[in-house]
Amino acid sequence: EAQVTQNPRYLITVTGKKLTVTCSQNMNHEYMSWYRQDPGLGLRQIYYSMNVEVTDKGDVPEGYKVSRKEKRNFPLILESPSPNQTSLYFCASSPRGHYNTEAFFGQGTRLTVV
C-alpha cells in the first residue's frame, strides 16, 4: 500500500530536549516536504527536498533541521524545541513538486513542548 509513515504520532517533550520526527515513504518519490498546522494559520511549509541530498527552506524553517540521505526518508529535527513549536506536523511526498501530481500526506505528529 502506498503510504507516508510518520513517527511518533504523539509526543510530549520538554523545552530544549532534542527530538526527531521520522518520515518514510514507499513510493520512490523524489519530492518530500514538512508542514506544520496551527489553528487560524493553516498548513505552512517548513522544509522541502527535491531529491536525495537536496533540501531547502520553506516558509517557517526557524528552529528546524532536515536531512535527506536516502530517497525514502526525510526526518525533521528539532535541536532545541520551544513551546512555540507545539503544533501538528505533516510530512508529504510526491513524484515531483506537486505540479500536476497528487501529494501524499502522513497521518501527522502532534507535538507538545512544555
Residues that bind other proteins (CB under 8 A): 4, 31, 33, 37, 42-43, 45, 48, 50, 56, 58-59, 88, 90, 92, 94, 96-100, 102-108, 110
Shortest distance, position 70 Cβ to other proteins, whole Å: 19
Cα–Cα distance for residue pair 106/76, rounded to 1 Å:
13
* DSSP letters for the chain: ---EEEE-SEEEE-TT--EEEEEEESS--SEEEEEEEETTTEEEEEEEEEETTEEEE-S--TT-EE--SSSSB--EEESS--GGG-EEEEEEEESSSSTTS--EE---EEEEE-
Nearest CB to other proteins, comparing residues 84 and 107: 107
Shortest distance, position 88 Cβ to other proteins, whole Å: 6
Nearest CB to other proteins, comparing residues 62 and 99: 99
Nearest CB to other proteins, comparing residues 18 and 40: 40
Shortest distance, position 16 Cβ to other proteins, whole Å: 27
For residue 14, which of 114, 109, 82 has the smallest C-alpha distance? 114
Nearest CB to other proteins, comparing residues 4 and 76: 4
Shortest distance, position 80 Cβ to other proteins, whole Å: 25
